[in-house]
Each structure stands twice: as C-alpha cells, then as structure tokens.
C-alpha cells in the first residue's frame, strides 16, 4: 500500500516533524489499526497511538492546501481526491447550504467518527475544519453532531464576514 511505499509510520512521522506538524503521530499501518479496532473504547480510554488533535489536523490540512508541504501536482491530486470522497454524506457536507462544496476525508472506528476537510463557501472563502466525535450514541447520532458542528462553523464564518463588511468584526482566538 501507499503507507508501505513511503516507508511506513516511522517515515511519515519524520516527514511530519520536518514539516513542523505537532500533535499528530502515526504508529500502525491500516491493517493493524483495523485489526485492533474495538480493543479499547475511545469514549472511556485514551490511546495515544495513531492520534491527531483537531488543531494538528487543521494545521496540516491548511498547510497542504496552501501548497506549503507538497508539490503543486501532488496537492492537486490530494484535494481532487478529497473532493470526490463518497463516504460521510451525513457528516460535514450534510447540512451545508447550496453553493458550498467540500474536500474531505472521513474516519470511522469503534465508537468514534470523524470528518476533516475544507469547506469552500459560495462567496469564495475556505474553512478548514476537523471534527471528531467519540461515544455519544450511535454512528448516525455522531454523524448528525458532525453535520451540526460543520453548519454552525459555516454560519459563524458567514456572520464574521458580514461583520467585517460592516466594520464590526472583532478578531478572537
């Protein structure tokens, strides 16, 4: 697979370190990760293996999107693939308004669901986001939470843009 072709988790971790990405660490290949899925309940136990904070994922996605970490050709391949993602239709993209589009990648393991990506707004802005939901009911319930969070962020950025146009915008962290 692709992970083996680039040298496995150690090579990916070295690349992340050189890129200045912190808060993201890869330990297992996908076959091992799937085999181990369910051995630990992520709603009650923290497993530091194969982990990424939402902040780290947003930082990585943003840097990739801005062309800071890949060649232009590789960047285009990555994001065109993410734009064609067919999984997660009830997650990030479920509640987005008409005119918005998304490049994203889902993740699902026992008792946890995620979706990370870049929303392209109808007015030409880009919102990078990473939403992870663990526990909190069934898979469809987690998907609904992810969709609601994405829409709330979309609406919040829309309100911020309107505030900037009126001169009432206040930057916050």
pLDDT per residue as tens digits for the range 15-29: 999 999 999 999 999
* Residue 91: pLDDT over 80: yes
Contact 110, 41 (CB under 8 A): yes
* Residue 159: pLDDT over 90: no
Average pLDDT over residues 132-148: 95
What's the pLDDT at 42?
82
Q: How far is CA 38 from CA 9, 42, 47, 168, in A?
A: 21, 9, 12, 48
Q: What is the pLDDT of residues 58-82, one digit of tens each?
A: 999 999 999 999 999 999 999 999 9
Tell the CATH topology of 2-166. Beta-lactamase (3.40.710)
* Residue 99: pLDDT over 70: yes
* Better-predicted residue by pLDDT, 159 or 39: 39
φ, ψ of residue 119 to 5 degrees: the values are -90, 130
pTM (predicted TM-score): 0.88
* Better-predicted residue by pLDDT, 133 or 170: 133
Q: Is 172 in a helix, a strand, or coil?
A: coil
Share of the chain above pLDDT 70, in %: 92
d(CA 141, CA 27): 29
- For the chain, the domains span 2-166
Give the chain's length: 173
- Look over the chain and give the mean of its residue pLDDT values, rounded to a whole number: 91
* Better-predicted residue by pLDDT, 110 or 162: 110
Place of tokens 């309940």: 41
Q: Is 77 in a helix, a strand, or coil?
A: helix
Here the tokens at position 122 are: 């109808």
- Smallest CA-to-CA distance from 108 within 143, 155, 83, 144 is with 143
Where does the pLDDT of residue 13 fall: very low under 50, low under 70, confident under 90, or very high at 90 and above? very high
What's the pLDDT at 45?
86
d(CA 57, CA 51): 10
What's the pLDDT at 170?
47
Where does the pLDDT of residue 90 fall: very low under 50, low under 70, confident under 90, or very high at 90 and above? very high
Q: Could you count the other beta carbons within 10 Å of the beta carbon of residue 82?
A: 18
d(CA 60, CA 48): 18
What's the pLDDT at 165?
54
Q: Could you count the other beta carbons within 10 Å of the beta carbon of residue 21?
A: 18
Contact 83, 103 (CB under 8 A): yes
């Amino acid at each position: 697979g692709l992970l083996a072709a680039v040298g496995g988790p150690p090579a990916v971790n070295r690349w992340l370190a050189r890129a200045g990405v912190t808060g993201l660490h890869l330990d297992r290949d996908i076959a091992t990760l799937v085999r181990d899925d369910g051995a630990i309940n992520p709603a009650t136990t923290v497993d530091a293996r194969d982990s990424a904070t939402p902040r780290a994922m947003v930082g990585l996605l943003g840097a990739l999107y801005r062309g800071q970490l890949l060649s232009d050709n590789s960047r285009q391949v990555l994001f065109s693939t993410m734009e064609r993602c067919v999984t997660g239709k009830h997650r990030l993209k479920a509640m987005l308004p008409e005119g918005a589009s998304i490049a994203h990648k889902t993740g699902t393991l026992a008792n946890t669901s995620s979706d990370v990506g870049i929303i392209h707004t109808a007015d030409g802005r880009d919102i990078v986001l990473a939403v992870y939901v663990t526990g909190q009911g069934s898979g469809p319930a987690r998907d609904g939470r992810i969709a609601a969070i994405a829409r709330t962020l979309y609406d919040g950025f829309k309100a911020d843009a309107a505030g900037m146009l009126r001169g009432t915008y206040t930057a916050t962290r």
